[in-house]
Amino acid sequence: MIQIIITSVCTSLFFIVIHNLHRKWKLNFKPFSCGSCLAAWVGVVLYLSPKLVVDIASVVFISGFLGAIIETLMNKIWN
């Protein structure tokens, strides 16, 4: 259950905060422009998905979110 929660939060932050895909794809309405709304809907979808889909989504979106955060931190440390 905690895996689904972390994955849904990282997924919504990955799409909304890091890449601004709701603006690029002209989906500037809820739930696509709202971080908590998108996280809730992704959580529901992942809860109803098979374990393999949850595992793949976890690897993709948690690593994508953490990669962007670590890159920003490393740039601040080195500069």
Q: What percent of the chain has pLDDT over 70?
A: 100
pLDDT average, residue stretch 49-56: 96
Phi/psi at 26 (5° precision) = 55, 45
Structure tokens at 54: 């949850």
Q: Identify whether the C-beta of residue 7 lies closer than 8 Å to the C-beta of residue 40.
A: no
What's the confidence (pLDDT) of residue 28?
82
Average pLDDT of the segment spanning 7-24: 88
The per-residue pLDDT for 44 is 95
Tokens 């996280």 locate to 39
pLDDT at 70: 93
Q: What is the pLDDT of residue 53?
A: 95
